[in-house]
Structure 1
Amino acid sequence: MKPTLLLPLLFTAVHGWGTLGHQTVALLSQQYLLPRTISSVQSLLNDTSSTYLGNIALWADSYRREVGGEFSAAFHFVNGDDAPPPESCEIILPQDCPDGGCVVSAIANYTERLKDQHLTTTERQQALKFVVHFLGDIAQPLHTEAFGAGANNISVTFWGYTTNLHAAWDTSIPNAMLGLAPTAAITTGDSLGWANGLAAAINAGKYRRLVKGWLKYHDVQSPKAEEKAAAAWANESNDHVCDYAIVRGGDAYNGTEIGGEYYDGAREIVQVSVAKAGVRLAAWLNLVFAGETGFEGSCRS
């Protein structure tokens, strides 16, 4: 078993995709929302701007640091706590999701709250913000791994920049894919540009025939169905920990430079993970507000 003493560090160290990743997921999803979904979401957010989902994509990361929001810190990840990678990668529920919650249970819980018309607008708005963020978080492989506190404890350098393996996947690698430094200030234009490129690959490129598989578990009929979908996404992300992110074992990466060959191999995983998250978020919200994914019968299915 992995050392449990490492796990609490995730509560303070984990950050999710950086600004670029989370905004791109949200802005990509906007391109596939149905008219009824758009109307409902914009009304709930009281925001009719062209970047209404991108504007709230990072809210959950800020909220967990606020007084009264600390309870949500554990909702950004799930601890895949089997044998150390690459020996084994698997999310086993309920033991990998403690009583305090995890990203799998949080997606189900806040989807239910988003659907609940008896809640206040403020409560449902908060639920929407969580859903948008958590469907991004669960697509980041190291948000589904307990080893080394989600690899926050694995020190690396990226193009000479001192960081850790988790943060590199969150920020350094995605930023570099757009030619940006790890510490670059991300603009909405950066995120929108990446989202548009991914949309082209989804609509008529290399991801076109993959969309149907990405939506295999979409079902918002009950908390059980929602948790089943989230668990499947988490396991899919966790597979990347063993097949790439920590394929050599955690100790092998400590103190190493990962801006070369390692980065080259990680790029496509990050690219497809963000693409999947954007499509899945759109289809999830469409199911909640319009009763269909929006991809039924399309050329992408």
Structure 2
Amino acid sequence: MINSHARADDSTVAIAAARAGADVVRSLYGQRLTRIDKGAGDFATAADVAAENSILDVIRAARPEDAVLGEEGGRQGATDAGRQWLVDPLCGTLNYAVGNMLVAVNVGLRGGAAAVADPFSGEVFFTDGTTARVRQGGVDAPLVPTSATRLVDVNLDPPFPSAPGFRAVDLLGHPDFTARFRPRVVSTTLALAWVAAGKRAAYVTDGNDLSESVHFAAGIAVCRAAGCVVTTLDGTPVGGAGRGLVVAADAETHEQLMSVVRGLRDLDGLGDLDGLRD
């Protein structure tokens, strides 16, 4: 709960909102839930919608002047609002719908504080925009990235805007990749927060500009604040013209991954992704 007698800082709001969503996700787990078809095989569940509503209740109470972009409800609030929250109430809906607990709740203020909650472990990975910490059982600890696990999460979900120059699936069998890393496929951006926490060495995904995506913005903010290396697939800063995302615990791991990505593009006769951009 946020103290109503004092204005909370943005990270406190982000944590409270993410926790509110996580409470809903956890409480509805295992129930038969109505599915809402989004087309192309994508869907939401009643848990996605209920969690987003709980998140919005927290944000509206604490920051009534701010706008919100939600995965399920779209854009809400004043069109001229100077601040906007990005909300993904249940990242990993397919996992959740089949009884897999690998899901995340993502809440981030554009360009500022953010929180990623794991509804089942109770962990909340968060940043105030400068430092990054994890809260569990009422105790906060710094997030310390490390590549020691050598585990790299690779997102295999479509679409594949960088193909044929880059296909995430090609990483899994590339000899330079398998010689250095061990792939994992968690299928939720919880794995992005795990890079900041040292549970993953890196995370790789394709996609168009992800810096303002409700799915990725909170995780990117946490990773940046933790000191991870965060770029697009062609090594440029996220938020520009480049596609995809490579988040690594350290510069060495990032360069090793980028060398494999460059090698895949070279095999296709495509030196970079420039010709594939919109």
TM > 0.5: no
Higher relative contact order (CA 8 A, sep 6+): 1
